[in-house]
């Protein structure tokens, strides 16, 4: 049995195979390494029964045929995937013919209730993967070894086909940091994004018409368990946020929308917030450097707030479009502002860029660094309650019922409210769901209300810059702001009187 440890990246540019091979050869030539190159065609058949029993056990089973006529059967058991790093135990055995022989594998890999002989009789081919692999065996000066593989080909199932275009870096022996350093070199040459799904997972999705559910930050709550240690809870939450962000990026590359960029920025803010919450338990230099990286990327995405506001104001289905049409000059100016922001193409390139990939790799490195770190004795529940209390206390001081709240006070309190909500995203799942939802609802309504107030402020600022002020629009805007402030006041009254769910 071996444990496969590899980084997998999907190629997000239209370079042909020969160009990709040449680029990789040039990159390797720049290093102080010895290497050998091999090209081979790999034909794989994946098996399962109709009920997807193997899939349900998180087991992958394939037969790989080589051009020499030999064949190998492989089982990969449950592992984990974080930021494109795949770690799965695997068992490789020779096989004769085109059908697997499960009795050849060790008994301990099967759950107690599974009869491997009966399972074998129900197996059938599910999908195939056929690709050309260019592999470089690389030996570093310290004796460490990795394999770099370029896979180009197809996955086929039920008459459907999906393209394989990916680069894998597999650790063979020695210092695993060579995986990370080599990945950074790849970022300088190619437009890449981490591959969360194995070829097998993609094959199953194709064969059974399965698709990942559409993800949304708005419905995301980090799922921690009460018996977790402090460090384990951080790595779990940090990994969950990273995985969600990568799925959002994949969604954006498939169907670009401003709303998805906003959600990506929100998840990045959630991850950075975790670094702040757990600061005293994290390695100082690594976490500080990572916070700087988060800051740089979040700064690059600050424009999306304004872009969404302008989109809401100018789109034909927007809440305010009919009112804005009282002034055609205003509508034109708002649309012109929207055109100054990055294009879809520019953002697709950004999400496959060196800067964005390096941030994800640094997140992965921190997770790996903490894998064997012992948690402090403080309980997670005590830790969570401390931070939830802190966030609520700061809000209660900023928007207490003893003071009146005007437009500017609500706008100024927004950052504090967002920070408190982020703490709730980190720790809320530790507590009973209905009480949590009841407590968060008025705070979320206030958050949405201030978002809308910011939209109206942008509209008013732009309107006041016009030479002519349409009276209908001015009156409507004043009434709208007044109504919104009344709604926010109601939310504030309710939010500040609900008993916290963690008490």
pLDDT by residue, tens only, the chain of 503 residues: 455 678 889 999 888 888 999 999 999 988 888 999 999 888 899 999 888 888 888 888 999 988 777 889 898 887 666 655 666 778 888 888 888 888 888 888 888 778 878 888 899 999 999 999 999 999 999 999 999 999 999 999 988 999 999 999 988 888 888 888 899 999 999 999 888 788 888 888 888 877 666 666 666 668 999 999 999 999 999 999 998 899 899 899 989 999 999 999 999 999 999 999 999 999 999 999 999 999 999 999 999 998 888 888 777 665 666 666 666 777 777 788 888 889 999 999 999 999 999 999 999 889 988 988 888 888 999 999 999 999 999 999 999 988 888 999 999 999 999 999 999 999 989 998 788 889 999 999 999 999 999 988 888 887 777 777 667 777 888 888 999 999 999 999 999 999 999 98
Domain of 128, CATH number, reads 2.40.320.10
Spatial distance between the Cα atoms of 281 and 230, rounded to a whole number of angstroms: 8
**Pair 240, 374 in one domain:** yes
User: Final residue of a domain: which of 207, 240, 264?
Assistant: 207
Domain of 240, CATH number, reads 1.40.20.10
268 part of a folded domain? yes
212 part of a folded domain? no
**Pair 228, 93 in one domain:** no
- Exposed, middle or buried, 261 (CB in 10 Å: 0-12/13-18/19+)? buried
487 part of a folded domain? yes
**Pair 40, 152 in one domain:** yes
Length in residues, the chain: 503
User: Final residue of a domain: which of 207, 241, 264?
Assistant: 207
**Pair 354, 476 in one domain:** yes
**Pair 199, 237 in one domain:** no
503 part of a folded domain? no
501 part of a folded domain? no
Q: How many domains does the chain have?
A: 2
**Pair 203, 221 in one domain:** no
500 part of a folded domain? no
**Pair 132, 259 in one domain:** no
**Pair 398, 441 in one domain:** yes
Task: Supply the pTM of this predicted model.
Answer: 0.88
- Report the candidate in 133, 132, 129, 197 with the shortest Cα–Cα distance to residue 157: 129
With beta carbons less than 8 A apart as the criterion, state whether 2 and 90 touch: yes
**Pair 95, 233 in one domain:** no
User: Final residue of a domain: which of 207, 228, 246?
Assistant: 207
**Pair 203, 233 in one domain:** no
**Pair 254, 184 in one domain:** no
353 part of a folded domain? yes
123 part of a folded domain? yes
Spatial distance between the Cα atoms of 295 and 290, rounded to a whole number of angstroms: 8
Domain range for 420 is: 217-495
For helices 177-189 and 354-369, the axis angle rounded to 10 degrees is 170
Across 95-125, b (16+ Cβ under 10 Å) vs e yields: beeeebebeebeeebbeeebeeeebbeebee
**Pair 313, 438 in one domain:** yes
């Amino acid at each position: 049995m071996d444990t496969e440890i590899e980084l997998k990246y999907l190629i997000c540019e239209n370079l042909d195979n020969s160009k990709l091979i040449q680029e990789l050869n040039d990159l390797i030539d720049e290093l102080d390494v010895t290497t050998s190159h091999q090209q081979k065609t790999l034909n794989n058949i994946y098996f399962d029964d109709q009920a997807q029993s193997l899939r349900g056990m998180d087991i992958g089973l394939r037969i790989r045929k080589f051009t020499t006529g030999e064949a190998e059967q492989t089982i990969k058991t449950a592992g984990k995937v974080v930021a494109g790093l795949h770690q799965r135990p695997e068992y490789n055995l020779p096989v004769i013919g085109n059908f697997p022989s499960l009795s050849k594998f060790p008994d301990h890999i099967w759950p107690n209730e599974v009869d491997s002989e009966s399972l074998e009789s129900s197996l059938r081919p599910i999908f195939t993967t056929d690709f050309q692999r260019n592999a470089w065996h690389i030996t570093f000066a310290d004796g460490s070894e990795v394999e770099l593989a370029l896979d180009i080909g197809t996955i086929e199932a039920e008459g459907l086909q999906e393209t394989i275009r990916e680069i894998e870096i597999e650790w063979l022996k020695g210092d695993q940091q060579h995986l990370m350093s080599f990945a950074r070199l790849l970022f300088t040459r190619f437009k890449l994004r981490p591959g969360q799904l194995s070829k097998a997972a993609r094959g199953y999705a194709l064969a059974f018409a399965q698709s990942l559910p559409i993800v949304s930050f708005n419905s995301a709550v980090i799922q921690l368990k009460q018996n977790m240690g402090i460090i384990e809870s951080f790595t779990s939450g940090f990994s969950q946020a990273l995985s969600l962000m990568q799925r959002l990026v994949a969604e954006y590359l498939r169907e670009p929308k401003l709303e998805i960029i906003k959600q990506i920025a929100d998840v990045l803010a959630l991850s950075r917030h975790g670094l702040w919450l757990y600061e005293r338990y994290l390695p100082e230099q690594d976490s500080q450097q990572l916070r700087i990286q988060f800051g740089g990327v979040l700064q690059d995405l600050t424009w999306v707030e304004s872009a969404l506001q302008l989109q809401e104001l100018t789109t034909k289905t927007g809440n305010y479009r009919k009112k804005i049409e009282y002034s055609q000059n205003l509508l034109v100016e708002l649309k012109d502002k929207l055109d100054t922001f990055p294009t879809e193409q520019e953002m697709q390139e950004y999400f496959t860029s060196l800067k964005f990939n390096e941030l994800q790799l640094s997140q992965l490195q921190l997770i790996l660094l903490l894998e064997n770190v012992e948690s402090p004795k403080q309980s997670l529940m005590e830790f969570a309650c401390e931070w939830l209390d802190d966030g609520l206390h700061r809000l209660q001081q900023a928007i207490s019922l003893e003071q009146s709240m005007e437009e500017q006070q609500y706008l100024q309190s927004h950052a504090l409210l967002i920070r408190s909500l982020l703490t709730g995203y980190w720790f809320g799942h530790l507590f009973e769901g209905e009480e949590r939802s009841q407590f968060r609802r008025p705070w979320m309504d206030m958050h949405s209300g201030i978002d809308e107030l910011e939209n109206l402020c942008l509209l008013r600022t732009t309107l006041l810059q016009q030479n002519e002020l349409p009276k209908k629009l001015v009156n409507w805007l004043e009434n709208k702001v007044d109504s919104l402030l009344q709604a926010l006041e109601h939310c504030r009254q309710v939010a500040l009187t609900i008993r916290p769910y963690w008490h």
